[in-house]
Structure 1
């Protein structure tokens, strides 16, 4: 059976048509055409009479059908089926056989002939429309690969995804080799052809992830250099946030122990240490601060003012901190005197024994007589009745009368009793005199008059020296364990220890000899001396380094204040130290700043890429686009300086989140990489065929 297209109508003729001569076939066709009424439907039944040869009929078929839209669609569909890897030949053959079976069922024609006819039509369509057929094959190949790559398992098998570049390359090599070899086998290739296809497909497939990663990194590197400049022009504030966030993120990853934690934040609040966002980073963040300060005078002014103002208040914060360690009264003279009186009361038996000593009843040595020439000494003598009454009101002791009086010439002489005997001063009287002298000395020192304080201290030491010689029991009562520290009492012992730390083991033995009251007095004297040392420090001195940072000071403080308060000291020192690092990071010389400013943008490149090549590239890019981006870059610098100089953890968290996002150019690279992953592997398969 054969089908002819006559005047746009399909007419089926019997096999006899094919046996006719060409003249008979032409006559038969003309007869059939004349018999077809105008507007009638195509005839699908055999026509008797004249027949066309197969070759002529096929030419007619190709001329009419294969050049039509249906022919182009057929060529494309044939290519799509044929292009499916491995399964393509089976799918195309199955489709042809299905069409032949349907035709045989409808027309009652021979199935094998219909199969051959379908195959002939497919081949003819491919020859008529080769481009459409190739496009169909490509679509079938890519589409089938994309379907597999769209699943998690398929993407890993094809090497689109994976833990590492090596994993992806290995998976792509194996899958490409397997599919290429199987596809060649499915299309009838021999063993040699199968091995060759597998080798070519595997080689190309294994190279695809490596080449793709290289291209992606190249695009990323270009974006890393160009993106900051573009972002600076487009949105300086956001670009500043991104750079700060990137620096903070790198610091957290590199050395989290040098980043402020929650305990540090609490210590800062407790001690009124004003933190800023720069303190919450590490070396990279401070390098960014230094970079923008070197490149922008406005940014430098913002950061330096913040750091300088905070450092200027460091001494006051340190003094307040030491006061809090001892209850807030370390440098209160009245509080110190009360501690001394409490300690004396605790040690009253020893003092009373000294006062009762026979040698203590009359003490007026030639040296003491010489000391009476001092107006300050005489003032201390005159105050004994009043001060002894005040002290006695607390301890229960009686007022001590003054054994001296002034004659007509204003000289101090001993009083006479009614019987004419002289009233001789005793040890208890002179003890109150030396206590009054100590009060004078403390007040002068607190007022900053160190010369007067030293002179009065010399008077007191001279008096005590004679008293100790006359009544040794007085020295033992007065000093106790404080004698190890070269002091008359626990408060002075603490002061002396702060100035001249003794060997810690020996000091600890003496410390254990103190009773609880004396230990409190010792700690108060120690803290008071620390405060005085801080107060006397030159302006702009880092008192944290001079007072707290050396090993001897730390060991002394732990002995005096105990482990618990030592932890408070360590926390305070850590936060002050971290806070002061911002000021230290501004230490570049003017020459260094000028050299950096010649390459405006280099710091930004370094901060973003994290290596010197980024800095060099940033400098070159900035040099070439200086006139275009200088103003935008300056705005970025100022925004960075403001963000680092403010105490706003929320803004810092936002900056970190912004830096964590994939930049838009990286998102585009990812999308492009994913989009090309399947076609690239399809190309590997096509090349192997």
Structure 2
């Protein structure tokens, strides 16, 4: 017996069914479908149709014939399915039913793709149906031209196939149309946000604008889809206005909720990756965010840096852990103690590695003095070839100066003038008395005596006071020096060596003052000039001068003195070497180069930061211990240092820090009271971790920033869903 599939059910009919005409068979199938439970065929009740009655009567007549004759009169059947030729396998109303072919369409992947893509186009507000229709008409025209078919026939086939695919995939079609509605609404929101109440300055604009836009957009969309039906247009406008009114209230809530869920999911995944408790991860992430930690900040602190050094909130978190009894407290305090114990050695070794070992200024000066003494044989050798000196011009000049100068300047010139007079020896005086001749007098003619006169003038210059006094002695010395240069060949070469050693001694002394904050210290530009000029040879000196080297050695010796007297006070050490402004950085750059100066300043800044961390962490834990002890003695509770006290101590920022610290303490207390000491210990290890914790820091920064999903983005999508997708989902 033939089997029919009607409304998804298998129905067997006798062979008489095969003798009916196609019209009679369709009518019979329709009647059978109508009789099935839960199936609506669209016909009005009231008995069989005329076609069905005629078909049934013919079938009954056929059944009276012998089987062989009856089979000859029956139409052929499909050998695979047994379905009679020309008989529809499915009745109208079955999902995927194609009204032209009578077959089921829409189950294959290509049909689903067509349903999704077409639904997106059709879902675009107002213009969607026109776009979908235009695409279908273009396809029909192309197929008709290629196959030689009639355009109307192809168009009917496309429309029937579209209807079948939609009925087979109703959820996919609805989702695609909602997607199209949202995708078509979001660009309009971006182009004219005020029209949808986004960013409106007033309450009226915030709520009235989306009502108006929702009414207009959905009303126009309904008019297009209903082909101008007034009732559907009004219905769509009312629905759009209601959704527009709800949008500014519901969309922000959806945005906050979705953002919170996304952040929480991300926090959970990061906590799992770090093997940390979720609440502990949140505390650390919030501290990193509040401290505005930058990527790579931990590696910039060197191998001794810790995560807790990166900001005040992280330090206070470490302080809270250090104040909580347990393994976490020991981890934090031991790490701080070990780092503090190595501070002195760390500073000295780093400075030595950067600037070299520190010299001793007195030894440099003693060596220069000995080298000056070693020049005496060279002076004697030069004097051996000297001619008699002519001191008369010098004497006349000094006599004239003594007549005009007054005070110490006059006395100094008179002393120099007296040095030019010849002083007879006791033998010469005795001989003159014995012979009755006058004692020899006049001016000196011996070059060695004139050289000693210059040395005496140098001694006078060291104690001279006042500008006039110094100028007068300097001019006199220059006159003596010129006569020596003219009378003693080679003496200026020896003078250049002697002067170079003298300049080096002065440079060592000068270098010890460059980091001072007093008036005796050179300004950065002055020191740069001294270094540049000091390298130039003076007089007959051959080669560059060692003055810049001695300046560096003097400064290095002063740094060593500062370190030696302040190694245990890293704050003072940083203040004395770095200074309050940027002058010392510039001075160190002039002497040692910008790279070495930066290395020293960075070292001192790091050590001061480490010192601050140590003070804050240990002070917090000691304060907590004192509060606990006082509570135990008093037998009562203590609020400790709360928001009120923080505001009194540090204003609004102090209150904020106090509130943040209280929040951290509550979380840590909850973990401790809940027996989750491992979570606190893990926090302690993270806080005391060094540069190897850079990956942990990056993860905490991501957790603190939250997911990349922005609340404003979700807000706009939610508005688009309400204004466009809401009415789309309500379409029949």
What is the TM-score normalised by the length of structure 1? 0.48
TM-score, scaled to structure 2: 0.46
- The structure richer in helix per residue is 1
